[in-house]
A and B are shown apart, each in its own frame.
Chain A
Amino acid sequence: DSGVTQTPKHLITATGQRVTLRCSPRSGDLSVYWYQQSLDQGLQFLIQYYNGEERAKGNILERFSAQQFPDLHSELNLSSLELGDSALYFCASSPGTGGEKLFFGSGTQLSVL
């Protein structure tokens, strides 16, 4: 068990809808990373937060947004969903911003129908 909790584990929704994915980092970790894993794109970095502030942004669509709350949990919001957004979304955490060792949650499998 990595100590990183992601909910829900599975999410099935329709095109055009909006969903929220939740992540609780490992106790003491201040950084949260979001990654998208799909068969055609592999593991793609979306966004990183550190102690409540956005620190780095990757290949995140404008329809997607995220935030990290004072208790350090993070939420990834996906809106106007398209079929191509179907993927496994991972949250990872680390103590700092060095990215030297990430602890991954088990992921949220999103299916857009």
Chain B
Amino acid sequence: AQSVAQPEDQVNVAEGNPLTVKCTYSVSGNPYLFWYVQYPNRGLQFLLKYITGDNLVKGSYGFEAEFNKSQTSFHLKKPSALVSDSALYFCAVRVAGGGSYIPTFGRGTSLIVHP
């Protein structure tokens, strides 16, 4: 089975401090990994993806994620958090099924940035 886990339901960080939202995955073969963000009353928005190449991937709004194959992790990071970053963050891994590739999402991590 292929899956993704987000071990923290909630992450609290002070504005201006670095943030990390954790994600680990389990997949057969090479993973395609993604981060999405969900603001209140909105759908998910794509932040970034890792397919191959450089282990550090840069995405929207100053976010980046580091792929670590040995630890099967894909943690989301940002050097300096903003209050406006407060949202629900989802990690996803692409799985194959019937000739199609369906992203499987983690349960989400609520990021709260305090002023």
Contact = CB atoms under 8 A, between A and B. Distances in A.
Co-assembled chains A and B: yes
Interface of A: 2, 4, 33, 35, 42-43, 45, 48, 50, 55-58, 90, 92, 97-107
Interface of B: 32, 34, 36, 41-46, 49, 51, 90, 94, 97-108
B103 A97 contact: no
Nearest to A49: B100
B90 A43 contact: yes
Given A2-B43, A55-B100, 20 more contacts: A2-B45, A33-B102, A42-B106, A42-B107, A43-B107, A43-B108, A45-B105, A55-B99, A56-B97, A92-B44, A97-B99, A97-B100, A98-B94, A100-B94, A100-B101, A101-B49, A102-B36, A102-B46, A106-B41, A106-B42
A99 B105 contact: no
Contacts, number: 68
Nearest to B98: A56
A42 B110 CA distance: 12
A104 B100 contact: no
Contacts of B43: 2, 4, 90, 92, 104-107
21 contacts: A42-B105, A42-B106, A43-B44, A43-B90, A48-B100, A55-B98, A56-B98, A56-B102, A58-B102, A92-B44, A97-B99, A97-B101, A100-B32, A101-B34, A101-B46, A104-B36, A104-B43, A106-B41, A106-B42, A106-B43, A107-B43
B31 to A, nearest CB: 12
A56 B106 CA distance: 19
Contacts of A100: 32, 34, 49, 51, 94, 101
A102 B44 contact: yes
B100 A50 contact: yes
Nearest to B32: A100
A98 B49 contact: no
Given A50-B100, A97-B99, A103 B106 contact: no
**Which 3 A-B residue pairings sit nearest by Cβ, starting from the closest?**
A104-B43, A42-B107, A99-B101
B44 to A, nearest CB: 4
